[in-house]
């Protein structure tokens, strides 16, 4: 028995939707991987080292060091969403804003878009868990139920306190925090594009002096301070995370914050197709009802947990 199938994955290549802060800032480097098991290399300062001059007419040459394969592997977790569309979902229902009955394709399209936005929200949550808290949920993986990136890499996240009380010089305090970040970055400090402090509302207000509203931002020197109050990011009251984005990253190179997209697995034809950030397809059963299915198979990997500094407010 042959059932109908339509692959919509390529229709969702261009990101849509609002409220995905980390994705919009471009912090992570996204890379397709042709297997759900990712072979990882370590990220070293050697990628930003300086070479020495050599004799003009000699035979000596400087070597450029590339990441060495470490035979470290990790598997991407899989999320699957499914919803069924039957005639009960459109018969007798008016299309919003139009003088006509809804159609099956209206409902299928809405369901597919809802799945896509759910995949984006799950991705954003995974990015924040990896970046801020150095964990990834891996219930069904051999590394599970949780991967702790500080243990995985043997590197701890940085931490500092910023004094914002009466008489405190907030600019000096922020400069000290940035200095700590740059020290941790080592050779990567020369490639800084932008520094962000993603702050809880109380830290945001303590540094600035007044509230500017959710997701508003301001600059202190080279630091862009962004207020984050969405519970999805799980930033504790009085805390924030200081981090940098980078330029001069060659395509194919590792960056400090990687996101690996891997193949789908539940549908054989989709699994053999191109690698996308998420997968969306529609199946028809023997009664020609629709089943909208989506797969998300990706993992956020902070290559160096010490490249993010947790900042805690000291208002005393």
| Rounded distance between C-alpha atoms, residue 175 and residue 182, angstroms | 10
Which strands sit side by side in the sheet containing 309-314, from one edge to the other? Answer: 158-163, 309-314, 239-246, 192-199, 223-227, 217-220
CA angle in degrees (0–180, nearest 5) for 246-250-256: 40
Contact between 187 and 47 under an 8 Å Cβ cutoff? The reply is yes
Ranges of H-type helices in the chain: 21-25, 104-133, 149-153, 170-185, 201-208, 268-271
Query: Which contiguous run of DSSP H or E holds residue 75?
Result: strand 69-75
Beta-ladder partners of 219: 224
pLDDT of residue 3: 56
Contact between 116 and 108 under an 8 Å Cβ cutoff? The reply is no
- DSSP strand pairing (309-314 vs 290-302): unpaired
Q: pLDDT (tens digit, 0 to 9) for every residue of the chain, 316 residues total? A: 455 889 999 887 666 777 799 999 999 999 999 999 998 877 765 445 566 665 556 677 655 555 554 568 899 999 999 999 999 998 889 888 888 999 999 999 999 999 999 999 999 999 999 999 999 998 888 777 899 999 999 999 999 999 998 888 999 999 999 999 999 999 899 899 999 999 999 999 998 864 454 447 888 888 999 999 999 999 999 999 999 999 877 777 788 999 999 999 999 999 999 999 999 999 998 889 999 999 999 999 999 999 999 999 998 7
- Residue among 212, 214, 175, 209 at smallest CA distance from 315: 209
3-class state of residue 201 by DSSP:
helix
Place of tokens 């799950």: 122
Place of tokens 């868990």: 129
pLDDT of residue 166: 86
| Rounded distance between C-alpha atoms, residue 128 and residue 124, angstroms | 6
Q: Residue 156 has what DSSP assignment? A: P
CA angle in degrees (0–180, nearest 5) for 85-89-92: 150
Written as six digits, the tokens of 76 are: 């991407």
pLDDT of residue 189: 92
pTM: 0.86
| Rounded distance between C-alpha atoms, residue 14 and residue 155, angstroms | 35
List strand residue ranges (DSSP E) for 151-238, in order: 158-163, 192-199, 217-220, 223-227
pLDDT of residue 47: 46
Going along the chain from its start, the domains and CATH numbers come out as 5-43+71-148+257-301 (3.15.30.10), 156-251+305-314 (3.30.2320)
| Rounded distance between C-alpha atoms, residue 211 and residue 194, angstroms | 23
pLDDT of residue 50: 60
Place of tokens 């009802």: 289
């Amino acid at each position: 028995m042959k059932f109908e199938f339509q692959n919509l994955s390529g229709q969702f290549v261009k990101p849509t939707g609002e409220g995905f802060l980390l994705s919009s800032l471009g912090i992570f480097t996204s890379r397709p991987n042709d297997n759900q098991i990712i072979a990882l290399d370590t990220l070293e300062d050697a990628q930003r080292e300086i070479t020495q001059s050599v004799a003009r007419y000699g035979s000596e040459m400087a070597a450029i060091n590339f990441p060495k394969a470490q035979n470290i592997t990790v598997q991407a977790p899989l999320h699957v969403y499914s919803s069924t569309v039957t005639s009960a979902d459109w018969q007798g229902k008016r299309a919003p804003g139009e003088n006509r009955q809804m159609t099956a394709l209206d409902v299928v399209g809405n369901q597919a878009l809802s799945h896509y936005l759910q995949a984006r929200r799950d991705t954003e949550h995974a990015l924040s868990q990896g970046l801020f808290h150095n964990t990834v949920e891996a219930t069904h993986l051999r590394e599970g139920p949780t991967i702790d990136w500080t243990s995985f890499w043997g590197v701890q996240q940085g931490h500092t306190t910023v004094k914002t009380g009466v008489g405190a010089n907030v600019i000096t305090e922020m400069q000290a925090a940035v200095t700590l970040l740059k020290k941790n970055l080592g050779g990567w400090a020369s490639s800084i594009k932008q520094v962000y402090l993603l702050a809880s509302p109380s830290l945001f207000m303590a540094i600035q002096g007044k509230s500017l509203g959710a997701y508003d931002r301001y600059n202190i020197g080279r630091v862009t301070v962004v207020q984050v109050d969405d519970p999805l990011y799980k930033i504790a009251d009085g805390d924030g995370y200081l981090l940098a984005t980078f330029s001069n990253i060659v395509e194919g190179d590792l960056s400090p914050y990687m996101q690996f997209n891997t193949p789908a697995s539940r549908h054989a034809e989709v699994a053999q197709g191109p690698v996308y950030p998420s997968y969306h397809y529609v199946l028809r059963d023997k009664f020609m009802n629709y089943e909208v299915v989506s797969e998300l198979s990706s993992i956020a990997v902070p290559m160096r947990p010490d490249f993010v500094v947790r900042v805690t407010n000291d208002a005393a």
